[in-house]
């Protein structure tokens, strides 16, 4: 597979690029739109966390892949050499924001794990195939129809 499935985001770039990238990957892998909101929100929050961390990250690489279970996003930080020490208050505020954003990501993803001293974040979304979901909807409608037909038949007896 070509490297078209990778996005490089530099510090100061707008997160709108992430939205375009996620939408492109959803189309590329033919993922149903039902999953778009959760995936977009989790990936965007993850980008925000990793770019604003105290490590002073300048570049973030995002790679999307389709796996057997669903969709995987791998976010890798490239930190700059010049680190500016944070004050204690800034660290406390950052930790509180980090905890809140991390909770949101954990809620929206099916599996999340940090690697490489929190410089790499893997997000996994379990996705049912579009045909599988359509089949479930058809089965549900068929059951409703049969139950309704049965009720009508009993009334007419």
Instruction: Report the C-alpha gap between 92 and 89 in whole angstroms.
Output: 5
* pLDDT given for residue 62 in this prediction: 93
Instruction: Report the C-alpha gap between 100 and 124 in whole angstroms.
Output: 19
- Is pLDDT above 90 for 21? yes
Please list the residues that pair with 14 across neighbouring strands.
none
Give backbone dihedrals phi and psi of 82, rounded to 5 degrees, phi first. Answer: -90, 105
Q: Where are the domains of the chain?
A: 3-126, 129-157
If you average pLDDT over residues 57-61, what whole number do you get?
A: 80
Give residue 13's Cα distance to chain centre. Answer: 19
The first and second tokens of residue 19, run together, are 């939205």
Q: Is the domain defined by 3-126 classed in CATH 3.30.1490.100?
A: no
pLDDT digits (tens, 9 = 90+) for 82-132: 555 556 666 666 666 677 888 888 889 999 998 887 788 899 998 866 566
pLDDT digits (tens, 9 = 90+) for 41-52: 999 988 888 877
């Amino acid at each position: 597979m070509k490297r078209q499935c990778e996005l490089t985001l530099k510090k100061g770039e707008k997160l709108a690029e992430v939205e375009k990238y996620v939408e492109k990957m959803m189309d590329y892998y033919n993922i149903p739109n039902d999953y778009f909101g959760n995936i977009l929100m989790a990936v965007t929050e993850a980008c925000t966390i990793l770019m604003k961390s105290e490590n002073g990250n300048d570049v973030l690489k995002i790679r999307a892949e389709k796996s057997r279970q669903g969709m995987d996003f791998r976010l890798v930080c490239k930190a700059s050499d010049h680190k500016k020490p944070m004050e204690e208050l800034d660290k406390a505020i950052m930790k509180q924001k980090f905890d809140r954003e991390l909770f949101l990501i954990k809620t929206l993803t099916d599996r999340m794990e940090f690697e490489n001293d929190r410089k790499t974040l893997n997000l996994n979304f379990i996705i049912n195939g579009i045909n599988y979901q359509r089949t479930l909807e058809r089965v549900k409608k068929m059951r409703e129809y049969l139950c309704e037909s049965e009720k009508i038949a009993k009334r007419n007896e």
